[in-house]
Structure 1
Amino acid sequence: MRWPCISRNRTDRLQVRAAALLLAPSLTGVAVFYLIPFAEVIRRSFTDAPGRRFVGLANYQSVLSNSAFRTAAFNTARFLCVCIPALLILSLGMALLTRAAGRYGRLYQTSFLLPLAIPVASIVLLWNVLFSQTGLINAILQALGAQPVDFMGTGAAFWVLIATYLWKNSGYDMVLWAAGLDRIPTAQYEAAAVDGANGWQTFRWITWPGLAPTLGLTALLSLINSFKVFREAYLVAGQYPHESMYLLQHLFNNWFLNLELGRITAAAVLIVGGLLALAGLFMAGKHLFQRKRKQC
């Protein structure tokens, strides 16, 4: 006779073993290509450039006292604080509009995804056509009697970068929001309509709580995609663009060309620590939101 608890424990062990075998290749790849190299980065952040002599916190002091690092960190943080909330709001609005468009929604989704298929070189050409001093926008401004604007040589360059990021990534995030909207049962909307709920009440109490799981994934992918905007900025303005759009990627590229490995490793550790702290705050806020939702 088999005792139920013994059979259950054996089943649990078999499930854990099967899960470990399935995860082993992925965990091995992550360890080999990410964790072990990053551990070496942490070690090199406390040594000199060749990685042989221990220098303590000298690299971190050099990074924090560097004016270029402070400028690049401020611009990157400013870029993230502006573009990610704007992208989430814009893409969610696009998803709701395409959903309300009925049979034409799929056509709109396809058209919004077209910027993802445009090569970076074409986007750079578009930048030059639109925003150069002799570009299309300045030509329109002069035709209207206004003064031309040096978009790439003034603080307006930052907002050009923001607009490019929103234009290229809004369609991708719209698809993620649309997938989250499809997970919400239609019965909830039907019940709300029977109860006489208006559009805002339906969004507040049904749509937005139902999109809470999608919010984390969309925000994370938006954060990852935000670091890819460096390609367009570098091809348009080179290694040293206007100060308003000088990002951490520019700084790392210039330090790498100068073989300042100590600064690079220390700055990388600081940035990863900051991103982990930001992710922790976001997850804590998400759990708090879900807890309040359950209480309601």
Structure 2
Amino acid sequence: MKQKSKRVRREIRTAWVFLLPSFTGIFVFVLLPFLDAVRRSFFEAMGGRFVGFQNYRTVLENDAFLLAVRNTGRFILVCIPLLLLLSLLFSLMMQHKGDFFKVSFLIPMAIPVASVALLWKIFFHNQGILNHLLIKLGRQPTDWMNTDYAFLVLVLSYLWKNIGYDCVLWLSGLSSIPGSIYEAAAIDGAGEFKKFIYITLPGLLPTLFVAAVMSLVNSFKVFREAYLVAGAYPQNSIYMLQHLLNNWFISLDIQKMCAAAVMLAAVFVLFILLLHGLNRNEVEE
């Protein structure tokens, strides 16, 4: 018994030795900068004078911030449900397909962001491929990136880039559901629809939590494509929070940037906790 206890303690110490570099990196490069941002959000950037919640009030009254929040919220509400639904549909179709077909969905993730931005420019530029096709069909060309169509272009870019990643998550969840459950349901006379409703969907609830969180994280990365295609001040419909924070950083509005970042982090954490709570309740039921 003592030998087993010593072995367990030794394994725990070994695990901590391997985890220590990662924890150190997180503490130095994530936690400390975030705590510094929280501190700066309560002070003036130049004079260092404590101003309390004044920076937060200034940010909440800023028209550009309100526009960015609306656009970011609309983008998330449109893209994440659409991505989860489409990726689940493709995963069900790919479940029994070959590996090449599955890997092909991951190709967009392997393409560098700069190449993706160039691809969208080629397609959606005023003199691009899409307008050239419209002219050939006798239609009027459209200024895709300087009208409300820019939002649809950004949604398309996000879905194309991330659908493969979510497909991998769904396929992993599907493979974890025992086949014996489906066989027993088939013996009892259950059809494909009932199998999906009563077996597949409940079995995918843990995967739904992971896929939703990762889709949310990846939705904030779409700024790279938007910035490379449309610049720092794009059409209003795709002016996101990342544009705003980037512009505040360039203009050295550190106090406003830190206040906005803290509020964004708080909303992000609350959203994840909400998803976690819903997932836990569903699993317990």
Normalising by the residue count of structure 1, what TM-score does the alignment of the two structures yield? 0.89
Secondary structure of 1:133's match? coil
Deviations 1:201-237 (A, max 9, x none): 1111111111111111111111111111111111111
Contact 1:115 1:168 in 2 (8 A): yes
- Quote how far apart the aligned CAs of 1:56 are: 1.3
Which residue is equivalent to 1:36?
32
Secondary structure of 1:216's match? helix
Name the aligned partner's letter for residue 200 of structure 2: T
Quote the Cα distance in structure 1 between the aligned partners of 2:130 and 2:122. 9
Q: 1:131-170, aligned counterparts within 5 Å?
A: 131-170=124-163
Quote the Cα distance in structure 2 between the aligned partners of 1:97 and 1:107. 14
Percent identity, aligned pairs only, is: 49
Gap runs ≥5 in structure 2: none
Quote the Cα distance in structure 1 between the aligned partners of 2:228 and 2:47. 32
Quote the Cα distance in structure 1 between the aligned partners of 2:24 and 2:202. 37
Which residue is equivalent to 1:254?
247
Indicate the larger mover: 22-31 or 179-188.
22-31
Quote the Cα distance in structure 1 between the aligned partners of 2:123 and 2:21. 48
- The partner residue of 2:119 within 126, 134, 148 is 126
Which residue is equivalent to 2:61?
65
Indicate the larger mover: 263-272 or 131-140.
131-140
Normalising by the residue count of structure 2, what TM-score does the alignment of the two structures yield? 0.92
Q: 1:46-85, aligned counterparts within 5 Å?
A: 46-50=42-46, 52-85=48-81
Quote the Cα distance in structure 2 between the aligned partners of 1:24 and 1:144. 62
- Quote how far apart the aligned CAs of 1:131 are: 1.2
Quote the Cα distance in structure 1 between the aligned partners of 2:91 and 2:46. 51
Secondary structure of 1:175's match? helix
Quote the Cα distance in structure 1 between the aligned partners of 2:48 and 2:42. 10
Deviations 1:151-194 (A, max 9, x none): 10111101100001100111111111111111111111111221
Indicate the larger mover: 282-291 or 149-158.
282-291
Name the aligned partner's letter for residue 153 of structure 1: N
Contact 1:44 1:51 in 2 (8 A): no
Indicate the larger mover: 191-200 or 38-47.
191-200
Indicate the larger mover: 229-238 or 31-40.
31-40
Quote the Cα distance in structure 2 between the aligned partners of 1:47 and 1:213. 42
Quote the Cα distance in structure 1 between the aligned partners of 2:63 and 2:11. 51
Are positions 1:94 and 2:90 aligned together?
A: yes
CA gap 1:15/1:75 in 2 versus in 1, 3 angstroms: farther
Which residue is equivalent to 1:117?
110
Residues matched between the structures, number: 284
Quote the Cα distance in structure 1 between the aligned partners of 2:87 and 2:53. 43
- The partner residue of 1:174 within 155, 167, 171 is 167
Gap runs ≥5 in structure 1: none
Indicate the larger mover: 143-152 or 164-173.
143-152
Secondary structure of 2:141's match? coil
Which residue is equivalent to 1:240?
233
Contact 1:165 1:226 in 2 (8 A): yes
State the superposition RMSD in angstroms. 2.3
Secondary structure of 1:152's match? helix
CA gap 1:53/1:171 in 2 versus in 1, 3 angstroms: same
Name the aligned partner's letter for residue 284 of structure 2: R
CA gap 1:20/1:68 in 2 versus in 1, 3 angstroms: same
